[in-house]
Amino acid sequence: MSTFHLVDHPLITHKLTIMRQIETSSKDFRDLLDEISMLMGFEITRDLPLEEVEIETPICKTKAKRISGKKLAIVPILRAGLGMVDGLLRLVPVARIGHIGLYRDPETHEPVEYYCKMPPDIENRLVILVDPMLATGGSASDAITKLKERGCHGNIVMMCLVAAPEGVARLQKDHPDVDIYSAALDEKLNEHCYIVPGLGDAGDRLFGTK
């Protein structure tokens, strides 16, 4: 089974509390999601492999370490995942970006796909799939299936902001090879499959569409 990593650094938890509040503006919501994404990126990239290289400082030659191994790709689930891309890009500016467009059908709550564009070498990269909300887990699960159809195996991690237990369970069942990083694990889903207490509709709050 995959591991669920709760990334509950005090700075992240504090910023998330502000995001949850109903009176927080779209601008502040966007800025905070960006900041949290960068902070979470530190945790997600903690185990990147290093290799030893010879360098020359102004003083002498020495051995030092630099990141080796797979290059990165960041894959946001549209729309709300877009708000997590820039924070990660500030840490890894050379990462490639793929996009998966999914929306939840308001009646069935099942994801509907409308767009998918990936870097051609996606299977050789470490893929960070990003979406602030892991509710039923349907969108994330479908997105991971799409990535696997393109050859990604054992190289995907999921990064979200708020997860519901139902979404974590669904993802661990459907994709036991994909670790999940989240800033919070909330209580449950309500009858509309929104996370409780959650933060409402992430896409609408991010883009001011409601």
Residues with a known catalytic role:
104, 108, 201, 204
Chosen from ligand PRP, ligand URA, none, partner binding at 77 (C-beta under 5 to 8 Å by type)? ligand PRP
Q: Which stretch binds ligand PRP (CB under 6 A): 10-18, 21-29, 44-52, 197-205?
A: 197-205
Number of residues that bind ligand URA (CB under 6 A): 8
Identify whether the C-beta of residue 71 lies closer than 8 Å to the C-beta of residue 95.
yes
198 touching ligand URA, by CB under 6 A? yes
CA distances from 111 to 101, 102, 108, 160, 209 (A): 10, 6, 9, 17, 19
> Contact region for ligand URA (CB under 6 A) — 35-43, 61-69, 152-160, 190-198?
190-198
Q: Which does 131 bind (CB under 5 to 8 A by kind): ligand URA, ligand PRP, none?
A: ligand PRP
User: Per-residue string for binding with ligand PRP, 58-87, x by CB under 6 A?
Assistant: -------------------xxxx-------
Of 25, 48, 187, the residue nearest 128 (C-alpha): 48
Per-residue tokens: 143: 């997105």
147 scored as a contact of ligand PRP (CB under 6 A):
no
Find where tokens 């069942």 sit. Answer: 173
* Site string (131-170) toward ligand URA, x via CB under 6 A: --x-x-----------------------------------
182 counts as binding ligand PRP under rule CB under 6 A: no
The entry of ligand URA, ligand PRP, none near residue 198 (CB within 5 to 8 angstroms by kind) is ligand URA
Q: Which residues bind ligand PRP (CB under 6 A)?
A: 77-80, 102-104, 109, 111, 131-140, 167, 193, 201-203
